[in-house]
């Protein structure tokens, strides 16, 4: 039987490549987290300019999600212009009319949830079921803050939506 001999240089090269890929993956994870935090801060700041009370409620809501669950929050929509709401209504007739949208008033946010480690991330988005969202504990936290959850709508599945009544 012939012995398999792998040159030490090839082993070192393979290790260097794997280590490099790992550090790139870690860097991407850190960059994503920083980007999400900056985006959340910007979206909450826009709401604060319109309604400081809404800002406080949403800030506490997000802080509670991140401290009481294993999930992190990415705000995907906050304050919207009337023009943006018109555009969304044209795209989907089930979206709220301009005079009905809490986003236009700075009293609603849409969020995605994510968690994981440096190797993978699990995201919870609009297409996930209402049951998936309830299982995170976020719906109970929303209730604690007096927020209406879009996953409870009868005619439209919108589990990413949270609004102040």
Three-state secondary structure call for residue 127: coil
What pLDDT, in 10s, does the model give residues 142-151?
999 999 999 9
The answer to whether residue 121 scores a pLDDT higher than 90 is no
> Which domains are present in the chain?
8-164 (3.30.1380.10)
Q: Which of 23-27, 60-64, 110-114, 137-141 has the lowest mean pLDDT?
A: 23-27
Q: Over pLDDT 70: what percentage of the chain?
A: 96
What pLDDT, in 10s, does the model give residues 52-77?
999 999 999 999 999 999 999 999 99
φ and ψ of 20, to 5 deg: -65, -45
φ and ψ of 5, to 5 deg: -120, 120
Its pTM stands at 0.83
In sequence order, what DSSP letters do the residues of 20-37 get, joined into one string? HHHHHHHHHHHHHHHHHH
Give all strands (DSSP E) within the chain, no chain letters: 72-77, 108-116, 121-124, 147-149, 161-164
- From the list 114, 34, 33, the residue with the least C-alpha distance to 73 is 114
What pLDDT, in 10s, does the model give residues 4-48?
777 888 888 888 999 999 888 888 888 888 999 999 999 999 999
Task: List b or e across 3-38, with b for residues whose CB sees 16 or more CB atoms inside 10 angstroms.
Answer: eeeeeeeeeeeeeeeeeeeeeeeeeebeeeeeebee
Cα separation, 48 vs 137, whole angstroms: 26
How high is the pLDDT of residue 57? Answer: 98
């Amino acid at each position: 039987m012939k012995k398999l001999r792998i040159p030490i240089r090839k082993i070192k090269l393979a290790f260097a490549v794997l280590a490099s890929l790992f550090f790139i993956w870690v860097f991407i994870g850190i960059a994503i987290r920083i980007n999400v935090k900056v985006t959340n801060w910007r979206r909450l700041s826009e709401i604060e300019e319109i309604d400081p009370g809404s800002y406080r409620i949403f800030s506490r809501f997000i802080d509670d999600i991140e401290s009481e669950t294993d999930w992190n929050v990415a705000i995907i929509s906050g304050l919207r212009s009337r023009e943006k709401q018109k555009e969304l209504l044209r795209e989907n007739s089930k979206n709220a009319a301009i005079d009905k949208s809490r986003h236009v008033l700075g009293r609603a946010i849409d969020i995605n949830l994510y968690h994981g480690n440096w190797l993978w991330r699990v995201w919870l988005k609009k297409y996930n079921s209402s049951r998936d969202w309830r299982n995170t504990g976020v719906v109970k936290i929303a209730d604690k803050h007096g927020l209406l959850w879009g996953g409870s709508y009868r005619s439209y599945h919108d589990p990413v939506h949270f609004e102040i009544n």
